[in-house]
Structure 1
Amino acid sequence: MNATAAPEKRRWTAPYAEAAIDAVVRVPGSKSMTARALVLAALASGPSVIRRPLIARDTLLMVEGLRALGVGVDTGDDDRWTVEPGALKGGTAVDCGLAGTVMRFLPPVAALADGPVAFDGDPHARERPNDGVIKALRDLGVEVEDGGRLALPFTVEAAGAVKGGELAVDASKTSQLVSALLMAAPRFEQGLDLRHVGDRPVPSRPYLDMVVQMLRQAGAEVDDTEPDRWRVAPGELQGREWVIEPDLQNAAPFLLAAVATGGRVTVEGWPVETAQAGDRIRDVITRLGSRVEWSRGGLTVAGSPSLIPTELDLADASELTPALAALFGVDGGPFTIRGVAHIRGHETDRVSALVTELRKLGADVDEFEDGLRVNRGGRAPGTWATYADHRMAHAGAVAGLVVPGLVLDDVACVSKTWPDFAEAWERAVHGDRPEGNGA
C-alpha cells in the first residue's frame, strides 16, 4: 500500500477495560517537530540528519512534497533520515493529503522555486481553510491561482525569489500560518517582519515557541521580543542533526486511559523540557485529581477515575480536546472546555463532531462557539464516527475503555500520525509490553 495514499476505512471495536490498566507505552516521534525539521533541512545550505522521525502519512506527504520540489530526502533508515537540499524547482505538483502542515508549510517554500507548483489534497482537505497562506503570499508579491476558493486546489506561480519585508496577517485561525512564513523567511531577500493583526490571539502558542527555537538552532536570527511580532533576518540556514522527541499529543490518550480506569500508564522518554503543546496534559491530569510522576523510565500517571469537575481553556493545547472530551463524556460532570473555536477548521469541525458523538453515548452536552460543556456523561453502546480524523479516533478509543462494545466506524484514519495506534492501544489495554522501537 502507498503510505501517502488515503487509507481504506477499517471498522474497529475499541477495547473495553475490564480492569485497571497497567502499561508502559512507547510513542513515535513528534509530527510537529518532524515536519518543521524537514522544512528547515530542505531550506538549509547543507545536508541534515533527522533522528527518530515520525513515520506516518502526514510526514511522508511532507517528504514527497519536498522531493517534488527537488529536495533529496533519504528515508531508507527508519531511525535516521537524511536531507540534501537543492535548487527548488517548479513545474511540479504537491499532494497535501489531509495534512495541514503540508498545505500551509510548503507553499512559502514553493514560492522560492523557479516555476509553478500545484497543490491539492484529499476531499476533506479542500474544506480546510487556507486563506491565510494564500493571502500572505499574495501580499508578498507571489501570484497564487486558486479560482477564488482561498483553499485547495491552488497553484503557486513561483518566480524564483520572494522579496519579503513587512507583512501583516490574521493568524487567529491557525498558528501554522505563522510557522509557515517564519521557516521560509530567512530565504526571503529582505527577511520578514511579520505581525499578527487579528482580533483574536494566535492559538496554539507553544507551536510558535517551537518554530522560533528550531529556527535559532538552524542559525536563523529571530526577534520575537514584541508581542505578536516576529522579525527574521535574511541569511543561510545551516544543516544540522535534529533529534525528534516523542509525540506528546499522541501520548495523551494513553495517559488518560490511566485516569479512566484508575490504573497506571507510563510513556517512555517523555522530555523533561519541551516546547510541545501536548506537555500541557500533565497539568490537566493533576487538576482532574490524578497523580503525575517521573518514574519507570518516563512519565507515569496513576489515575483516579473520580474526576474533579473543572473548566479548561485549551487555546494553547487544543489537540488535547477530543480525548479529554471523550473522558468527560463518559464520566460525570460538569466539565467544560473553552478557547478552541479554531479546531472547527481542523480535519473536521471537531467541536461539532465531539458534541454529536457524545450525545450518541447518552451524554448531556452543551455546544459553544469555542468549546463544549458535559453536564452529565453517558455510556450507551453504539458506533462512534471518526470523520476521517485521527484525533476523533483517539477519542473513541478513550470512550471505549468504559463503554462495552463501542465500534469506531473507521480507525484507519490514525495513519495520519500513528499507523499502529490501534495495535498499541490494544496492547496497553490488554497488559502487553511494547516490542521494537514503536516508530
Structure 2
Amino acid sequence: MTVVDVPGSKSLTARALFLAAAADGVSTLRRPLASEDTEGFAAGLTALGYRVERTPERWSVQGSPAGPPHDTAEVYCRDGATTARFLPTLTAAGHGTYRFDASAQMRRRPVAPLTRALRALGVDVRHEESEGHHPLTVTADGVRGGELALDAGESSQYLTALLLLGPLTRDGLRITVTRLVSAPYVGITIAMMRAFGVTVSRENTSRGEVFSVPPGGYRAADYAIEPDASTASYFFAAAALTGHETTVPGLGRGALQGDLRFVDVLERMGARVRVDDDRTTVSGTGTLRGITVGMRDVSDTMPTLAAIAPYASGPVRIEDVGNTRVKECDRLAACAENLRALGVSVTTGEDWIEVSPGTPRPARIATRADHRIAMSFAVASLRTPGITFDDPGCVRKTFPAFHEVFARTRAAWGLAAAASPDR
C-alpha cells in the first residue's frame, strides 16, 4: 500500500480565507494549501489591508467585519477564479473603491451572473472592457441585503460568493436559485459558514431552491483544512489504472468535498474502494470496465476519468459536464484534443464526451495552461510511457510539487520512469 499525503483543499482554503477576513477576531487556518491560487487570494487580502501571517503549517488572518481596512486598492487576481469572484464580493460589504484585474486566462472566464446579482443588491460594479468579465471596479458603500434570484448553472462559485456575503449585509439575504451546478461545493460553503458561526437554511420551492442567510457577521475560528479531493483523484485513478493500491489520509466518511465521490466512479469501473473514518483507499484489480456516468456534481474530476478511459474494456461516456467548457480552459475540448493526439477515438457534444477503448501512443499533451489537464494525463503516462507536456509547470496553480510526488508514487510501484515532465 502506498500512502500519499495530498495538500490542502483549494476550495476550502479560499473559503476559509474569506471567512477569516470577514470574521470578528483572529482566525487560524491549519494546513492550508500553498499554491499559486491560494497565494494569490492571500495577496489580494493583503492588498485590501487585511493582515495575513503565514507559516508552512498555518496561516492567521486578522478579520475586519466592517469590510476591507483600506478604502482604495488594486487587486490582481492572477488565474484564480475564487479570488476573482470572492474578493470583489467581499469588498462590496465595505466602503471604498476597489479595482480588480486578472490574467488573460481569467479575463476570459465569465463573472456576469455574479455581477448582475451584486447590482440587484445595489452594489456599483463596473466592467472596464468586456461586460461580464475582468477587469472591474467595485464602488462599495455596504449592502442592505434582501431577496434576489440567481442562475448558478454555469458555476456554483456565484452562489458561494453571495452566501459568504450574506452575514455581512444589514438585512441578510434570501437567494432563489433557478439552476445549480456542482452542488456539493455549496454544501462545503454552508458547512464552513457554520464553523464560523453562521447557519444557512435552505428549502425547495416551486421557483427553485431558496437559501436564507441571516445578518450578524462571523466569529473567528481555528479551522483545519482537509486534503484536496480533486487532487486525490489522480492518485486514486492511478491505482485503479495500474492494479496497485493507494491510501489518502485525511479524506474519509466525514469529508466535506463532493469530489471524493469520484472513487464511486472507479468502483463502478471495477476498482476496490474502502472509505474509512479518516482515510480512503483505492485498489486496482487489473481491469477497468466501460461506463456511462453523469458528473455534473463532480465535474472537476471529469478530466481524470477521461484520461484513463481509453484503458477501459468498453466505451466511457461522461455526461452533464457542459460547465467544464468555461473552466481554466474548455476542458471537454482539451480532453478530446489530447486523447486524439494519443490515437484514441473520441466524440463530444455540448455537455458530454465519449471515449472508445484503445491503445494510446506517446504524445505531447497540450495542457492549455490548465493544471487539471496536466495532472490527469500524467495518470495516463503510467500505462503509456513517453507522454510529455507543453507546460508542466501549470500544476503550480493547485499542487506545485505534483510531478515530484507522482514520480515517488510511480517509483514505489516499480513502474518505468516517465519522460521528463519539462520536455
Give the TM-score of the pair, scaled to structure 1.
0.90
Structural mapping, 1:53-202, within 5 Å: 53-75=32-54, 77-86=55-64, 87-88=67-68, 89-147=70-128, 148-159=130-141, 161-197=142-178, 201-202=179-180
Q: In the TM superposition, what is the alpha-carbon distance from 1:29 to its structure 2 partner?
A: 0.6
Shift in alpha-carbon separation, 1:373–1:236, aligned structure 2, 3 A: same
Which residue in the other structure is 1:205 paired with?
183
- The Cα of 1:256 is off from its aligned counterpart by 0.7
Other-structure match for 1:44? 23
How far the C-alpha of 1:426 sits from its partner, in A, is 0.4
Quote the Cα distance in structure 2 between the aligned partners of 1:146 and 1:67. 23
Amino acid at match of 2:19: L
- How much has 1:94 moved relative to structure 2? 1.3
Instruction: Structure 2: state its 5+ residue gaps.
Output: 415-423
TM-score (norm 2): 0.93
- Is the aligned partner of 1:345 residue 2:365? no
Offset, 1:330: 4.0
Report the equivalent of 2:266: 285
What corresponds to 1:10 in structure 2?
none
Letter in 2 for 1:102: T
- Find 1:221's aligned residue among 196, 199, 218: 199
Distance in 1, matches of 2:238 and 2:71, equals 47
Question: Which residue of the other structure, out of 282, 293, 297, is the alignment partner of 1:316?
Answer: 297
Find the aligned partners of 1:100 and 1:294 in 2 and give their Cα distance. Answer: 30
Secondary structure, aligned partner of 2:28: strand
- Once the two structures are overlaid, the 10-residue window that deviates more, 111-120 or 406-415, is 111-120
**2-structure distance, mates of 1:252, 1:322:** 10
Structure 1 residue 370 corresponds to structure 2 residue 348 = no
**C-alpha distance in 1, partners of 2:381/2:110?**
31
Distance 1:141 1:305 in 2: 58
Q: What is the distance in 2 between the residues matched to 1:141 and 1:64?
A: 27
- For residues 158 and 230 of structure 2, what CA distance do their matches in structure 1 show? 20
Identify if the C-alpha distance between structure 1 residues 124 and 177 changes in structure 2 by more than 3 Å, giving closer, same or farther: same
1:431 aligned onto 2:412: yes
Q: Please give the alpha-carbon distance, in whole angstroms, between the structure 2 residues aligned to 1:298 and 1:134.
A: 39
Structure 2 CA distance, aligned partners of 1:118 and 1:315? 33
Residue 267 (structure 1) shift: 1.4
- Within 1, Cα distance between the matches of 2:313 and 2:104? 37
Instruction: Give percent identity, aligned residues only.
Output: 39
Q: What SS does the aligned partner of 1:258 have?
A: helix
User: Is 1:26 equivalent to 2:8 in the alignment?
Assistant: no
Q: Pick 1 or 2: higher relative contact order, CA cutoff 8 A, min separation 6.
A: 1
How far apart are the structure 2 equivalents of 1:377 and 1:184?
48
How many residues align? The count is 407
What amino acid maps onto 1:219 in structure 2?
G
In 1, Cα distance between equivalents of 2:345 and 2:327: 24
Distance 1:26 1:393 in 2: 19
What are structure 1's unaligned runs of at least 5 residues?
1-21, 434-439
- The code of the aligned residue for 1:182 comes to L
Task: Look up the SS of the partner of 2:353 in the other structure.
Answer: strand
SS at match of 1:357: helix
Displacement after TM superposition at 1:249 (Å): 0.7
Residue 189 of structure 1 and its aligned partner are, at CA, apart by: 1.0
Number of the residue aligned with 2:339: 358
CA distance in 2, matches of 1:332, 1:309: 6
Moved over 6 A (4+): none
Give 1:296 shift: 12
Task: Give the distance between the partners of 2:235 and 2:12, measured in 1 at CA.
Answer: 20
Question: Structure 1 CA distance, aligned partners of 2:382 and 2:164?
Answer: 40
